[in-house]
Amino acid sequence: MNKTQFFFVLAFITISFNTAFAQYGYGNGYGNGYGGYGMGRNSMSQMNQADMKPKEIPVEVTVAKIMEKLKPQLNLDELQTIAIGNVYTDIIKSQTAIMKDEKLSQQEKSNEIKALFEINERKVNEYLNEEQRQKYKALKEEGGNNKKEKEKKKKSKKEDE
Protein backbone atom coordinates (compact mmCIF):
# COMPACT_ATOMS: atom_id res chain seq x y z
CA MET A 1 0.00 0.00 0.00
CA ASN A 2 1.35 3.39 -0.86
CA LYS A 3 1.13 6.47 1.35
CA THR A 4 -1.92 7.97 -0.43
CA GLN A 5 -4.01 4.83 -0.06
CA PHE A 6 -2.95 4.46 3.58
CA PHE A 7 -3.98 8.07 4.26
CA PHE A 8 -7.45 7.59 2.71
CA VAL A 9 -8.06 4.33 4.60
CA LEU A 10 -7.00 5.96 7.89
CA ALA A 11 -9.22 8.99 7.24
CA PHE A 12 -12.19 6.74 6.37
CA ILE A 13 -11.79 4.72 9.57
CA THR A 14 -11.45 7.84 11.71
CA ILE A 15 -14.57 9.44 10.21
CA SER A 16 -16.53 6.18 10.61
CA PHE A 17 -15.69 5.86 14.29
CA ASN A 18 -16.40 9.52 14.92
CA THR A 19 -19.81 9.28 13.23
CA ALA A 20 -20.74 6.08 15.04
CA PHE A 21 -19.86 7.46 18.45
CA ALA A 22 -21.53 10.82 17.77
CA GLN A 23 -24.86 9.05 17.13
CA TYR A 24 -24.74 7.65 20.63
CA GLY A 25 -23.76 10.88 22.30
CA TYR A 26 -20.09 10.12 22.86
CA GLY A 27 -18.87 12.59 20.26
CA ASN A 28 -19.55 15.65 22.37
CA GLY A 29 -17.89 14.29 25.48
CA TYR A 30 -21.02 14.32 27.63
CA GLY A 31 -22.59 10.95 26.90
CA ASN A 32 -26.08 12.43 26.63
CA GLY A 33 -27.13 10.70 23.40
CA TYR A 34 -29.59 7.88 22.98
CA GLY A 35 -27.31 5.31 24.54
CA GLY A 36 -25.12 7.53 26.65
CA TYR A 37 -24.92 6.18 30.21
CA GLY A 38 -28.57 5.17 30.41
CA MET A 39 -29.92 8.57 29.51
CA GLY A 40 -32.53 8.07 26.83
CA ARG A 41 -35.05 10.34 25.22
CA ASN A 42 -37.42 10.44 28.19
CA SER A 43 -34.92 11.53 30.78
CA MET A 44 -33.47 14.15 28.43
CA SER A 45 -36.88 15.62 27.66
CA GLN A 46 -37.66 15.81 31.38
CA MET A 47 -34.41 17.63 32.02
CA ASN A 48 -35.10 20.06 29.18
CA GLN A 49 -38.60 20.80 30.47
CA ALA A 50 -37.24 21.56 33.93
CA ASP A 51 -34.64 23.90 32.45
CA MET A 52 -37.19 25.68 30.27
CA LYS A 53 -39.35 26.91 33.15
CA PRO A 54 -38.68 30.60 33.71
CA LYS A 55 -37.05 31.32 37.01
CA GLU A 56 -38.96 33.69 39.23
CA ILE A 57 -37.18 36.90 40.05
CA PRO A 58 -37.45 37.68 43.77
CA VAL A 59 -39.84 40.52 44.58
CA GLU A 60 -37.11 42.38 46.44
CA VAL A 61 -34.92 42.46 43.32
CA THR A 62 -37.77 43.82 41.21
CA VAL A 63 -38.65 46.46 43.79
CA ALA A 64 -34.99 47.46 44.13
CA LYS A 65 -34.79 48.04 40.37
CA ILE A 66 -37.99 50.11 40.40
CA MET A 67 -36.81 52.20 43.33
CA GLU A 68 -33.36 52.62 41.79
CA LYS A 69 -35.08 54.30 38.86
CA LEU A 70 -37.69 56.27 40.82
CA LYS A 71 -35.52 57.64 43.61
CA PRO A 72 -33.36 59.99 41.54
CA GLN A 73 -36.11 60.90 39.07
CA LEU A 74 -38.58 61.87 41.82
CA ASN A 75 -35.92 63.08 44.26
CA LEU A 76 -37.23 60.80 47.03
CA ASP A 77 -35.92 60.94 50.56
CA GLU A 78 -35.11 57.74 52.46
CA LEU A 79 -38.48 57.55 54.23
CA GLN A 80 -40.35 57.91 50.93
CA THR A 81 -38.08 55.33 49.31
CA ILE A 82 -38.81 52.78 52.03
CA ALA A 83 -42.56 53.48 52.12
CA ILE A 84 -43.02 53.37 48.35
CA GLY A 85 -40.80 50.28 48.14
CA ASN A 86 -43.11 48.55 50.63
CA VAL A 87 -46.15 49.53 48.53
CA TYR A 88 -44.55 48.04 45.42
CA THR A 89 -43.57 44.89 47.33
CA ASP A 90 -47.17 44.35 48.46
CA ILE A 91 -48.58 45.02 44.99
CA ILE A 92 -46.16 42.68 43.24
CA LYS A 93 -46.83 39.89 45.73
CA SER A 94 -50.58 40.36 45.26
CA GLN A 95 -50.19 40.39 41.48
CA THR A 96 -48.17 37.17 41.58
CA ALA A 97 -50.84 35.51 43.73
CA ILE A 98 -53.56 36.59 41.30
CA MET A 99 -51.64 35.29 38.29
CA LYS A 100 -51.14 31.90 39.96
CA ASP A 101 -54.79 31.59 41.00
CA GLU A 102 -56.23 28.97 38.66
CA LYS A 103 -59.81 29.57 39.82
CA LEU A 104 -59.94 32.98 38.15
CA SER A 105 -60.55 33.48 34.44
CA GLN A 106 -58.22 35.66 32.36
CA GLN A 107 -60.77 38.48 32.43
CA GLU A 108 -61.09 38.29 36.21
CA LYS A 109 -57.32 38.29 36.58
CA SER A 110 -57.07 41.31 34.30
CA ASN A 111 -59.70 43.20 36.30
CA GLU A 112 -58.02 42.35 39.60
CA ILE A 113 -54.64 43.53 38.36
CA LYS A 114 -56.12 46.78 37.04
CA ALA A 115 -57.63 47.37 40.46
CA LEU A 116 -54.25 46.65 42.08
CA PHE A 117 -52.54 49.22 39.87
CA GLU A 118 -55.15 51.84 40.79
CA ILE A 119 -54.61 51.10 44.49
CA ASN A 120 -50.85 51.26 43.92
CA GLU A 121 -51.20 54.66 42.25
CA ARG A 122 -53.18 56.08 45.17
CA LYS A 123 -50.85 54.67 47.82
CA VAL A 124 -47.71 55.93 46.09
CA ASN A 125 -49.24 59.38 45.62
CA GLU A 126 -49.93 59.56 49.38
CA TYR A 127 -46.17 59.63 50.01
CA LEU A 128 -45.34 62.22 47.34
CA ASN A 129 -45.52 66.00 47.38
CA GLU A 130 -47.23 67.87 44.53
CA GLU A 131 -44.08 68.28 42.41
CA GLN A 132 -43.20 64.60 42.82
CA ARG A 133 -46.77 63.59 41.88
CA GLN A 134 -46.48 65.50 38.60
CA LYS A 135 -43.14 63.83 37.81
CA TYR A 136 -44.54 60.43 38.78
CA LYS A 137 -47.55 60.94 36.52
CA ALA A 138 -45.26 61.97 33.65
CA LEU A 139 -43.09 58.87 34.21
CA LYS A 140 -46.15 56.62 34.12
CA GLU A 141 -47.39 58.21 30.89
CA GLU A 142 -43.92 57.97 29.35
CA GLY A 143 -43.75 54.28 30.32
CA GLY A 144 -47.12 53.65 28.67
CA ASN A 145 -46.04 55.44 25.51
CA ASN A 146 -42.81 53.41 25.35
CA LYS A 147 -44.79 50.17 25.55
CA LYS A 148 -47.09 51.29 22.75
CA GLU A 149 -44.12 52.25 20.58
CA LYS A 150 -42.46 48.87 21.18
CA GLU A 151 -45.69 47.07 20.22
CA LYS A 152 -45.94 49.12 17.02
CA LYS A 153 -42.33 48.27 16.13
CA LYS A 154 -42.98 44.56 16.72
CA LYS A 155 -46.09 44.65 14.53
CA SER A 156 -44.31 46.48 11.72
CA LYS A 157 -41.41 43.98 11.83
CA LYS A 158 -43.85 41.07 11.56
CA GLU A 159 -45.63 42.72 8.64
CA ASP A 160 -42.30 43.32 6.88
CA GLU A 161 -41.44 39.62 7.12
For 37-63, what is each residue's pLDDT tens digit?
555 555 555 555 555 666 778 888 889
Domain limits, the chain: 3-52, 59-160
Outline where 24-105 has alpha helix (H). 41-52, 59-74, 78-100
Task: Give the chain's largest Cα–Cα span.
Answer: 94
- The answer to whether 124 and 87 have CB atoms below 8 angstroms apart is yes
Looking at residue 22, what is its pLDDT? Answer: 55
Is pTM beyond 0.75? Reply is no
When mean pLDDT is compared across 4-8, 44-48, 115-119, 127-131, the lowest value belongs to 44-48
What's the rounded Cα separation, in Å, for the pair 74 and 132? 5
Q: How confident is the model at residue 80 (pLDDT cuts 50, 70, 90)?
A: very high
Confidence (pLDDT) at 90: 92
State pLDDT tens for residues 144-156: 777 666 666 666 6
